[in-house]
Structure 1
Amino acid sequence: MHWLLRWLINLGLLAALCLFITGVFAPLMELEKFWVFKNQFSLYSGLQDLWQQGEHFLFVFLFLFSILTPLVKIFGLALVVNSSAGYQQRHKLFLQILAVWGKWSMLDVFVVALLFVAVKLGALANITVHYGLYLFAGSVILVHILSLYLYLDSRAAE
């Protein structure tokens, strides 16, 4: 891989990591009930609330798909891009796994869940989406684009 392309992919992965970390702690939405009570939620605070309320299964499920999986993708792609060509077969296997795993991304499920909540609570509450959702979504999309590029590049090299 050309050094400039490797540098650009690493820059993209760094940007995705920054977007991801900021998106996890930034407010995702604000819930306003009866025009009086307002609560802001971040992914971190939502996970924290699930753990404190004893919803351990849901906590583990959401943590796995919304925190751990994106981090594994980012660091795994960084490893693929920055390791020697001697590991090319392992890289192809990892990229194939990411291509399949990407279809099970939690981003679309997350957006649908937000829309469902917004529609269900329309008469009782107002939901405002905040910048954290866009940062988190940007990170997931950027990682998906980079992994797709590397996967297609590895297929073309065959």
Structure 2
Amino acid sequence: MPVTSTFAKIEIPLLSLLLLLSFGFFLAGIITPIMTITKLIFLETSFSILSGLNDLLVQREYFLFIIIGSLSVALPLFKMALLALALCNNRPTKNLSKAIDIIHNFGRWAMLDVLVVALLLVTVKLGAIASVEVHYGLYLFAVSVLITMWVTHRTVVILREK
């Protein structure tokens, strides 16, 4: 993208680095366990976002698979790809700028996953019957979403300044 100020000359490489960092957090967040559910002290089940999606497929919960897969995996990956194109491109097209603006508005829905997991944690806290232990995968995923939201915001601001 054409650089309009000295600050933008510094900010664009920084945003690119943050986007790469966010991608790493994202991959780690969807692969590593996000929680363990313990039932009656004996049965423990740990799962990640990807293993949860796999379980939904196995159980033929296609609607939930599509919703969670779209919001948790597909949308963030698409958003990161668009951001990478915009940050690496010296002259982003009007369509790319428009796409980033749209994804910025709809990208907030990716945080819906963190809300769903948080609601699940509150719901599943059943005392002696079951307990939930949160793992670092949830935090990695949340950090990825927040960094990506910030990079998107700054990229939109830079594109509008042109």
Fold match by TM threshold 0.5: yes
Describe the superposition over 1:98-152 as per-residue Cα deviations: whole angstroms up to 9, x where unpaired: 221134x132x32333333333332221111100001011111111000001112
- Equivalent residue, structure 1, for 2:116: 113
Q: What's the CA shift for 1:10?
A: 1.4
Q: Which residues in structure 2 correspond to 1:44-123 (within 5 Å)? A: 44-85=50-91, 87-103=92-108, 105-107=109-111, 109-123=112-126
Percentage of identical aligned residues: 29
Q: What's the CA shift for 1:3?
A: 4.6
User: How many Å separate the matches in 1 of 2:154 and 2:21?
Assistant: 16
Equivalent pairs counted in the alignment come to: 154
- Equivalent residue, structure 2, for 1:31: 37
**Runs of at least 4 residues off by over 6 Å:** none
Aligned mate of 1:135, from 128, 137, 140:
140
Q: What's the CA shift for 1:61?
A: 1.5
User: How many Å separate the matches in 1 of 2:37 and 2:102?
Assistant: 37
Describe the superposition over 1:45-84 as per-residue Cα deviations: whole angstroms up to 9, x where unpaired: 0000001111112111111111010011111101001112
TM-score, normalisation: structure 1: 0.88
Describe the superposition over 1:10-51 as per-residue Cα deviations: whole angstroms up to 9, x where unpaired: 111110111111111000001011122111110010000001
Q: Tell me, which stretches of 5 or more residues in structure 1 are unaligned?
A: none
Q: Which residues in structure 2 correspond to 1:6-21 (within 5 Å)? A: 6-21=12-27
1:154 matches 2:140: no
Superposition RMSD in Å: 1.6
Amino acid at match of 2:120: V
